[in-house]
Structure 1
Amino acid sequence: MSQKFTNEDVQMLGKRTLFQGFFRMEEYRFKHRLFAGGWSQEVVREVFERGHAVVVLPYDPVSDKVVLIEQIRIPVVNAATTPWLLEFVAGMIEEGESAEQVAHRELLEESGLVASEMHYISQYFSSPGGTSERFDFYWARVDASQADGLHGLDDEHEDIKVHVMPREAAFQLLQDGTINNASTVIGLQWLQLNYQSLRAAK
């Protein structure tokens, strides 16, 4: 791959806010360098600005079990058979917080668990064609036997149910399509590739 573009290869022509609520919608006007050489015409794109987030994979390498949470996700109500999704712990990074601080906070709020270790894995963009949102992905070493019950913050109207299951059972839910959100799919695929080394280090 001989050609590598950077931010220097984008000319920002303008930006304006189209909507400001809990989230924000921005309009970007720009030009960019072309693979064939030269510059593009002016391009206009709307970008959904919702900040950045963390996702946490709670895994117990001793028992080889994962902790999933279940909650309603109303944006998918017309696109899925149910808006209640099985997910990993996740949350938005607020101003003044580090990603790791958010990982620990959300793990406690959404599952009631405290990680004995928190390990950074990678970053990825959730849907770069339409939003700037970036996820910092962690796996948390937990004692899965301590995971149970209902969790979430009342002031955020969260109603979260904890599920504990063997890693293979969780991976089967991915394979049969029950687990259908990107962060959990990515996390379980990573775990399936790496669980042996995590268990060997337990």
Structure 2
Amino acid sequence: MSDKPAPFQFSEKDVRIENRETLYDGFFGMERLRLSHARFAGGYTETFDREMFVRGDATCVLPYDPQRDEVVLLEQFRPGALGRDQSPWLLELVAGMNEAGESPEDVAHREAEEEAGLEFRRLERICSYLVSPGGTTEMVSLYCGHVSTEGAGGLYGIEAEHEDIRAHVMAADEALRMIADGRINNAAAIIALQWLTLQRARLQEEWV
């Protein structure tokens, strides 16, 4: 029998939060936590401070047409990509923030229409993941959505929200090449497209 310790021996009960301070409360938020937590070797850490970006959860969907073996990716400006050796216009998935009372599936259908003029025939959950838990609270629910790419593509977005989106239809293989050469370098798109490489044959049989 292995004497290796199992992972996940701790829970939220093993974190002692002494103080929670709101530093900023706008469209996003920023908090400072003063805390200590259990140590693997026993006991607790010294008390320390951590700033945390408080952001709501989001839903992202890869639109896929199994008959044409094509995907729809959205190109739009992202200020977080400024200052890099690349264009700040990224190729991404259909995505949106989860509003109060909405399920991730609700968000997927709403954003598909707003951002790409698409209607999902069905959705398949890929996973949920924490975006960057060392500094932000955001959790992403990730899906693949069954669409027809016939007539898809074009310009979309809500002007009042400063959205300017171009929807691109491309072969799934071309999108995968864009991961390999670095043209697609955002987490949700990479995860979803790599999932698609494992599931394409099944989806082409089931999504008819």
Same fold (TM over 0.5): yes
Cα contact 2:32–2:50 (8 A) shared by 1: yes
Cα contact 1:60–1:141 (8 A) shared by 2: yes
Within 1, Cα distance between the matches of 2:137 and 2:151?
Answer: 35
Q: 2:28 corresponds to which residue?
A: 23
| Residue 74 in structure 1 maps to residue 74 in structure 2 | no
Cα contact 2:72–2:153 (8 A) shared by 1: no
Within 2, Cα distance between the matches of 1:88 and 1:98?
Answer: 18
Among 125, 145, 148, the alignment partner of 1:143 is 148
Q: 2:123 corresponds to which residue?
A: 118
Among 134, 137, 158, the alignment partner of 2:139 is 134
Q: 2:64 corresponds to which residue?
A: 59
1:150-194 deviation digits (Å, cap 9, x = unpaired)? 000011010000111111010001100000111111111111111
Within 1, Cα distance between the matches of 2:140 and 2:202?
Answer: 24
Q: 1:175 corresponds to which residue?
A: 180
**How far is 1:195 from its partner?**
1.0
Which 5+ residue runs of structure 2 have no aligned equivalent? none
**How far is 1:45 from its partner?**
0.5
Q: What TM-score do you get using the length of structure 2 for normalisation?
A: 0.94
Amino acid corresponding to residue 61 of structure 1 in structure 2: P
| Residue 89 in structure 1 maps to residue 125 in structure 2 | no
Within 2, Cα distance between the matches of 1:80 and 1:124?
Answer: 27
1:29-63 deviation digits (Å, cap 9, x = unpaired)? 11111011111111211000111000001001111
Amino acid corresponding to residue 57 of structure 1 in structure 2: L
| Residue 2 in structure 1 maps to residue 6 in structure 2 | yes
Within 2, Cα distance between the matches of 1:198 and 1:95?
Answer: 32
Cα contact 2:32–2:52 (8 A) shared by 1: yes
Amino acid corresponding to residue 83 of structure 2 in structure 1: N
Within 2, Cα distance between the matches of 1:51 and 1:18?
Answer: 16
Which 5+ residue runs of structure 1 have no aligned equivalent? none
Within 1, Cα distance between the matches of 2:18 and 2:139?
Answer: 24
Within 2, Cα distance between the matches of 1:157 and 1:134?
Answer: 24
Within 1, Cα distance between the matches of 2:12 and 2:28?
Answer: 25
**How far is 1:19 from its partner?**
1.1
Cα contact 1:9–1:33 (8 A) shared by 2: yes
Cα contact 1:99–1:136 (8 A) shared by 2: yes
CA RMSD in angstroms, aligned pairs only: 1.1
Would the alpha carbon gap of residues 80 and 17 (structure 1) be closer, same or farther in structure 2, given more than 3 Å must change? farther
Secondary structure of the structure 2 residue equivalent to 1:170: helix
Cα contact 1:113–1:146 (8 A) shared by 2: no
Q: 2:159 corresponds to which residue?
A: 154
Within 2, Cα distance between the matches of 1:47 and 1:79?
Answer: 24
Secondary structure of the structure 2 residue equivalent to 1:145: coil
**How far is 1:2 from its partner?**
2.2
**How far is 1:94 from its partner?**
0.9
Q: What TM-score do you get using the length of structure 1 for normalisation?
A: 0.97
